[in-house]
Structure 1
Amino acid sequence: MPSYTITYFPVRGRCQATRMLLADQGQTWKEDVVTLDTWMKGDLKATCLYGQLPKFTDGAFTLYQSNAILRYLGRKHGLYGKDDQERALLDMANDGVEDLRNKYLVLIYQNYDEGKDKYVKDLPAQLKPFETLLKQNQGGKAFIVGDQISFVDYNLLDLLLIHQTLAPGCLDTFPLLSAYVARLSSRPNLKAFLASPQHTGLPINGNGKQ
């Protein structure tokens, strides 16, 4: 039996980067799927530290907050850089991913119809820092930081894939990001996961917007 359990809604949402990491690293996990009806009853919510999901367990150890989960798995599986400087750069890059993800979530859940055109227009400015980070690291031929994949790469890949759904062609003016997405998506375990029902069978968001 796998020691990892993800408790979350039947969507990709804030858990897909974690799933990508686990799949790519050859790990198995159990999905404890929470329906909206179950969540609205409030019993499970009352037990969650911050009143929200995802919840992640590793045996008897429980974590909340999606980025804390990613960092934990990054430390555990050697995906958190090789020295203090790399780890600091990874933290910086992940904070950038979180900033853009939060803007995306505001669009999806609060301002989709009125705000999508402006969001897409402004998107190049939001993506440029990631192109810059790639260029600064071996000319964009490696990962977002360093020469080994990190937890941030899974988080950024997820973010870029959902933006390619939102705005097809959004990476056309970012050759390094485009190549990065293709390169990571072709890793054997990730490629299999991205083609599996655990990815294709789940909506990106809980309200049907994408």
Structure 2
Amino acid sequence: MAGKPKLHYFNGRGRMECIRWLLAAAGVEFEEKFIEQPEDLDKLKSDGSLMFQQVPMVEIDGMKLVQTRAILNYVATKYNLYGKDMKERALIDMYSEGVADLGDMIMLLPLCPPDQKDDKIAQIKEKTTNRYLPAFEKVLKSHGQDYLVGNKLSKADIHLVELLYYVEELDPSLLANFPLLKGLKTRVSNLPAVKKFLQPGSQRKPPMDEKKLEEAKRIFRIK
């Protein structure tokens, strides 16, 4: 019997959090090997574990997978969260990429220079309410189904709901005019595996604070 997937990253959200969400939603238990010092990262590089010298890295099914989207696609395929045919997968990929575009803006916000942060937040809010959330609301309205693609839970739904939590952290009012998205968020959040992941004490990571940002900069040698 294969062991649990092992996730190699620092103890924060970053580019691993969407992988944690997807595994948790699939009901998969996983272990985490936290990178706590720059030397931990150096060791992974020197022993050949990181194909492109960077994390996230996930050990799963005898492989050491890197590149976030490759990991997500493997997990989604393995646990039947990737549609039933090529057309559904194309839609799932398209929606997931849209989620990633906005998610990356929010994820990188802590790295924004203080004198630019207010402008960056305003830009993110504008794109959230005028570009991204209306597009996803329109998809749900167009077919009237519970999930984005094929009326079945997919990685696109999980990624989108994760994003909606981050949008709420930024400004809860941003979701006010999107009732179908709020419904999707409630629906996915109430799935037993996701509900468990959302409970205190789970492997879900909190928002990036100043202390965690400094830890990440030290580990990854970010100036």
> TM-score range with shorter-chain normalisation?
0.7 to 0.9
| Cα distance between partner residues in 2 of 1:84 and 1:58 | 25
Which sits farther off after the overlay, 80-89 or 20-29?
20-29
Give, in angstroms, the shift of residue 183 of structure 1: 0.9
Partner of 2:90: 88
Aligned pair partner of 2:77 in 75, 78, 85: 75
TM-score (norm 2): 0.81
1:63 aligns with 2:78: no
Partner of 2:42: 42
| Cα distance between partner residues in 2 of 1:37 and 1:62 | 20
Give, in angstroms, the shift of residue 172 of structure 1: 0.6
| Cα distance between partner residues in 2 of 1:204 and 1:52 | 22
| Cα distance between partner residues in 2 of 1:133 and 1:195 | 29
| Cα distance between partner residues in 2 of 1:172 and 1:45 | 45
| Cα distance between partner residues in 2 of 1:38 and 1:163 | 34
Give, in angstroms, the shift of residue 114 of structure 1: 4.1
Give, in angstroms, the shift of residue 165 of structure 1: 0.5
Alpha-carbon deviations, 1:54-105, whole Å to 9, x = none? Answer: 1011142111112211110111111110122111111111111121122223
Partner of 2:195: 191
- Residues 2 and 30 in structure 1, CA contact (< 8 A), matched pair in contact too: no
Partner of 2:26: 25
| Cα distance between partner residues in 1 of 2:91 and 2:166 | 23
1:158 aligns with 2:162: yes
Aligned pair partner of 2:138 in 108, 112, 132: 132
| Cα distance between partner residues in 2 of 1:159 and 1:16 | 11
SS in 1 for 2:18: helix
Structure 2: gaps (5+ residues): 215-223
1:174 aligns with 2:175: no
| Cα distance between partner residues in 2 of 1:133 and 1:8 | 34
Distance 1:112 1:52, change over 3 A: farther
Give, in angstroms, the shift of residue 31 of structure 1: 0.8
Alpha-carbon deviations, 1:110-130, whole Å to 9, x = none? Answer: 253442133223320222111
Which sits farther off after the overlay, 45-54 or 125-134?
45-54
| Cα distance between partner residues in 2 of 1:102 and 1:17 | 11
Distance 1:119 1:36, change over 3 A: farther
Alpha-carbon deviations, 1:130-159, whole Å to 9, x = none? Answer: 11222223x1x4112112111222211111
SS in 2 for 1:195: coil
Total equivalences in the alignment: 204
| Cα distance between partner residues in 1 of 2:177 and 2:135 | 13
Larger radius of gyration between Structure 1 and Structure 2: 2
TM-score (norm 1): 0.86
Give, in angstroms, the shift of residue 24 of structure 1: 2.6
SS in 2 for 1:23: helix
Partner of 1:143: 147
Identity across the alignment (%): 32
| Cα distance between partner residues in 2 of 1:198 and 1:33 | 15
One-letter amino acid of the structure 2 residue matched with residue 135 of structure 1: K
- Residues 196 and 202 in structure 2, CA contact (< 8 A), matched pair in contact too: no
| Cα distance between partner residues in 2 of 1:199 and 1:29 | 9
Structure 1: gaps (5+ residues): none
